[in-house]
Structure 1
Amino acid sequence: MQITMNFSRISFALQLFFICHFITSGKLREVEGCSIYISNKCPFPIWPATAPNTGHPVLSNGGFYLPSGGVRRIGAPGDWSGRIWARTGCNFNVPTNHKPACETGDCDGKLECEGTIGLPPATLVEMTIQYDKKQPSFYDVSLVDGYNLPVSVTNKPSSTKCLIRGCTKNLKDTCPPELQVVNDGGQVVACKSACLAFNLDSFCCRNKYGSPEKCKPSVYSSLFKNACPSYVSYAFDTPSPVLSCSSDQFIITFCPDKWATHHLSASSII
């Protein structure tokens, strides 16, 4: 029997040294864990969401509200694998009946996604943490399904070789009309990938195009790469933008400044 403990009421000092506990065969065992800090530098609120890969737990109930300027720490097992993204333009005050409550990244109209994968297009942070295996963790930012917000990812303490920078251009400004997602007010709120927009094997790198030799960059993936050179722009993007770094703390910043440094204080953590 596995018991997952709720750390939401533990003091901040203890949270920084987060340790997961579970019971196996009636014996208490300690498992090393990690901290993921999610920061919102956007001039508007966002609703970060998480979805685990198969066999891994849901983090922080899968979603929460984060105001502009806010930072939230979520605990993760030392072997967690999954995705993290931000939803925008959400309104959870009106019953949705499973209709989208967010303009981008929606998960079945729910505030807490509970493991549900978000509706693309949305910029995805993909992580495979291997801290408890004493091996480097892998992470990237993917635009394979499209883009809704810029994001940076780094470890803590920060290291240049472990930093995925934000974008140099706003993809919403350069997004071609055929890829645009527009809200009720006529604003471009996201940019689809060519695979998502056209569902063609040549753009999706599948079937006879399912290899690096057959699936090459397109005019659309090149547009993504030009705006966000540190991100995965299509399935076989090379050289691989995936980073491999050892750490038990990671910082994910939505709408980062171009040369942002990541300073977190106890008073800023929600």
Structure 2
Amino acid sequence: MNFSRISSALFLFFICHFITSGKLREVEGCSIYISNKCSFPIWPATAPNTGHPVLENGGFYLPPGGVRRIGAPGDWSGRIWARTGCNFDESTNHKPACETGDCEGKLECEGAIGIPPATLVEMTIQYDKRQPSFYDVSLVDGYNLPVSVTSKPTSSKCLIGGCTKNMKDTCPPELEVVNADGRVVACKSACLAFNLDSFCCRNKYGSPEKCKPSVYSSLFKKACPSYVTYAFDTPSPVVSCSSDQYVITFCPDKWGTKYSSS
């Protein structure tokens, strides 16, 4: 009997078992807790940057008051957002399935990027390298819900707070996204709405010296001072924080719960 072959086979079996069960990734990676403090259900979604895996198949349902833990590799990079007003009943045969943040009409986005406008949490986790992780909340493409991000346990240096005003109330008419009932469900950025170089910080406006805050990005900044409101937003709202656990909370304040999206 060849014991070396048996030992090698057993070793490979256990390695495969740990990888497929997610146990190895949990040990080496990070935990991201998604919390829904909205008064209505949301459908959180994730999309990885190139070369990184899809988390939780890219999307799931989260009821009001619900919390869901996502296991992430220690070097994951990508975006997380919330979809609202979704109906995935295939018998209706309609796309998009969500009023905001839709990803090809699917519950599980499987890596697809949501349709803007949607408030984006952008993360680059570097826990395995024992270096700080970086994250921000971006309104570069627009806003649909307020969100906060922090470490667990909470640290003031790791916190991105929510908003001081409801952008759906203060959104200029030319940026509004309304649903079938005529209710404002999101607010576009000026770049998304007008597709002009001066608003999108591209071509001859593609530098901090040339691309300055607009009247529109200033409205976003006034409502949500901790968020990135245009491409060269300064001082940088990007947070650098070392942790292996993060909490993303949608509707952390009253501005997210004022209107139901059901």
Alignment map for 1:247-258 (pairs within 5 Å): 247-257=243-253
Cα deviations by residue, 1:234-266 (Å, 9 ceiling, x for unpaired):
0000000000000000000000037xxxxxxxx
- Measured in 2, the distance between the counterparts of 1:95 and 1:216 equals 47
Aligned to 1:266: none
Higher Cα Rg, which structure: 2
Pick closer, same or farther for the CA change 1:117–1:242 going to 2, 3 Å: same
- Measured in 2, the distance between the counterparts of 1:122 and 1:233 equals 12
Aligned to 1:241: 237
Aligned to 1:11: none
Aligned to 1:174: 170
Aligned to 1:42: 38
2:58 pairs, out of 62, 66, 70, with 62
Is the counterpart of residue 185 in structure 1 residue 190 in structure 2?
A: no
Alignment map for 1:67-216 (pairs within 5 Å): 67-95=63-91, 99-216=95-212
Q: Which has the higher helix share?
A: 2
> After TM superposition, which residue ranges in structure 1, 4 or more long, deviate above 2 angstroms?
1-7, 94-98
| Cα deviation, residue 98, structure 1 | 7.2
| Cα deviation, residue 32, structure 1 | 1.1
Is the counterpart of residue 52 in structure 1 residue 48 in structure 2?
A: yes
Aligned to 1:20: 25
- The 3-state SS of whatever aligns with 1:125 is strand
- The 3-state SS of whatever aligns with 1:20 is helix
Q: Tell me, which stretches of 5 or more residues in structure 1 are unaligned?
A: 8-17, 22-30, 259-270
| Cα deviation, residue 194, structure 1 | 0.1
- Measured in 2, the distance between the counterparts of 1:179 and 1:219 equals 12
- The 3-state SS of whatever aligns with 2:90 is coil
> Does the Cα contact within 8 Å between 1:96 and 1:109 map onto a contact in 2?
no
- The 3-state SS of whatever aligns with 2:134 is strand
> Does the Cα contact within 8 Å between 1:156 and 1:249 map onto a contact in 2?
yes
- Measured in 1, the distance between the counterparts of 2:93 and 2:124 equals 33
Is the counterpart of residue 5 in structure 1 residue 1 in structure 2?
A: no
Whichever residue aligns with residue 199 of structure 1, its letter is N
> Does the Cα contact within 8 Å between 1:97 and 1:109 map onto a contact in 2?
no
Cα deviations by residue, 1:42-74 (Å, 9 ceiling, x for unpaired):
000000000000000000000000000000000
- Measured in 2, the distance between the counterparts of 1:98 and 1:132 equals 42
| Cα deviation, residue 161, structure 1 | 1.1
> Does the Cα contact within 8 Å between 2:163 and 2:253 map onto a contact in 1?
no
| Cα deviation, residue 125, structure 1 | 0.1
| Cα deviation, residue 96, structure 1 | 6.4
**Percent identical:** 85
- Measured in 1, the distance between the counterparts of 2:226 and 2:98 equals 27
TM-score by length of 1: 0.85
Whichever residue aligns with residue 194 of structure 1, its letter is A
| Cα deviation, residue 95, structure 1 | 4.6
| Cα deviation, residue 94, structure 1 | 3.1
Whichever residue aligns with residue 87 of structure 1, its letter is R
Cα deviations by residue, 1:149-194 (Å, 9 ceiling, x for unpaired):
0000000110011100000000000000000000000100000000
Q: Which has the higher strand share?
A: 1
Aligned residues between the structures: 239
- Measured in 2, the distance between the counterparts of 1:170 and 1:137 equals 29
- Measured in 2, the distance between the counterparts of 1:122 and 1:53 equals 17
Aligned to 2:6: none
- The 3-state SS of whatever aligns with 2:160 is coil
> Does the Cα contact within 8 Å between 2:123 and 2:135 map onto a contact in 1?
yes
> Does the Cα contact within 8 Å between 1:44 and 1:67 map onto a contact in 2?
yes
2:218 pairs, out of 215, 219, 222, with 222
